[in-house]
């Protein structure tokens, strides 16, 4: 039961981060299609948003390890 809790503690934030990154990529491609000359600005904002979304997954694995102890 403990291993299931550990897996879910990490899997749910990782799922949220993966969905968030997918939405970020779709929005960036849509913005790029509408305004192709802003490629560098859109890329910078996209990478920044992906970093924040990945922080959720990192926090999730830290919480999973803390809860397991």
* 5 CB burial (10 A radius; 0-12, 13-18, 19+): exposed
Residue 37, Cα to own-chain centre: how many angstroms? 26
Pick the CATH number of 2-68 from 1.20.59.10, 3.40.50.970, 3.30.460.10, 1.20.20.10: 1.20.20.10
Summarised one tens digit per residue, pLDDT across range 16-64 is: 999 999 999 999 999 999 999 999 999 999 999 999 999 988 998 898 8
All residues at 6 or more sequence positions from 17 whose CB lies less than 8 Å from its CB, including other chains: 53, 54, 56, 57, 60
pLDDT value at 67 more than 80: yes
Predicted TM-score of the model (pTM): 0.83
Q: Is the dihedral of CA 32, 35, 40, 41 positive or negative?
A: negative
**CA 65 – CA 23 distance, rounded (Å):** 28
């Amino acid at each position: 039961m403990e291993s299931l809790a550990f897996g879910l503690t990490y899997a749910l934030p990782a799922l949220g981060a993966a969905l968030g990154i997918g939405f970020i990529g779709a929005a960036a491609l849509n913005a790029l299609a509408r305004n192709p000359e802003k490629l560098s600005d859109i890329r910078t904002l996209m990478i920044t948003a992906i970093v924040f979304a990945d922080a959720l997954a990192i926090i999730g694995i830290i919480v999973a390890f803390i809860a397991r102890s």
